[in-house]
Structure 1
């Protein structure tokens, strides 16, 4: 299953590594954004299935509100990827869950696959290890 994915990450090397992994898996990365405004612009310009959202971006800790906006108003499946999972421990309306960073390629692959299957409405018995689901 191929998806159009947006990476929202302010650390260029981390974003580049994520892009390589996702493209190796056959997904299309529509872009990377380091701040909320750039991310919103990319979503408005592209059809995005999944956004991988860091919490602390170049414009501050804007990722939580950005993820909520993307999920509830723009129809994007949102998966947080952050070194600060405690900031979303109570969940964020409309979003799927959080994967702690640093993470490895396999964990990212299984979390993305899970998120895309959920987006399609498929029933999944278990979340992959390392992915904390909301709600």
Structure 2
């Protein structure tokens, strides 16, 4: 199942590595951006199925509000990827869950597969253990 994925991450090396992993899995990475404004522009111009969102971006800790906006208002499935999962411990409306960084390729693959299956309404029996679900 190929998806259009937006990476929202301010650390260039992390974003590049994530892009390589997702492309190796056959997904189309529509863009990698480092701030909330750029992410909004991409979503307005391009169909995005899934956004991987860091919490601390180049414009500050804007990821939580951005994730909520993408998920609730713009119809994008959202997974947070952060070294600070406690910042979203209570969950964020409109988003799926959080994957703690650092992580590995297998965890990313399982979390993305889970999110995409949910998006398509396919049955998902359980989430991967690395993914902390909200709600």
In the superposition, the TM-score normalised over structure 1's length comes to 0.99
| Aligned counterparts of 2:112 and 2:7: Cα–Cα separation in 1 | 12
Q: SS of 1:19's equivalent?
A: helix
Q: SS of 1:92's equivalent?
A: coil
Question: What residue number does 1:105 align with?
Answer: 105
| Aligned counterparts of 2:25 and 2:114: Cα–Cα separation in 1 | 14
Deviations 1:50-95 (A, max 9, x none): 0000000000000000000000110000000000000000000010
Question: What residue number does 1:92 align with?
Answer: 92
Question: What residue number does 1:57 align with?
Answer: 57
Question: What residue number does 2:67 align with?
Answer: 67
> For structure 2, which runs of at least 5 residues remain unmatched after alignment?
none
| Aligned counterparts of 1:88 and 1:122: Cα–Cα separation in 2 | 26
In the superposition, the TM-score normalised over structure 2's length comes to 0.99
**1:109 deviation in Å?**
0.3
| Aligned counterparts of 2:113 and 2:54: Cα–Cα separation in 1 | 18
> For structure 1, which runs of at least 5 residues remain unmatched after alignment?
none
Does residue 21 (structure 1) correspond to residue 21 (structure 2)? The answer is: yes
Question: What residue number does 1:134 align with?
Answer: 134
| Aligned counterparts of 1:71 and 1:13: Cα–Cα separation in 2 | 26
Q: SS of 2:99's equivalent?
A: strand
Q: SS of 2:15's equivalent?
A: helix
Q: CA RMSD in A?
A: 0.4
Question: What residue number does 2:121 align with?
Answer: 121
Q: SS of 2:41's equivalent?
A: helix
Q: After superposition, where does 1:5-16 map in structure 2 within 5 Å?
A: 5-16=5-16
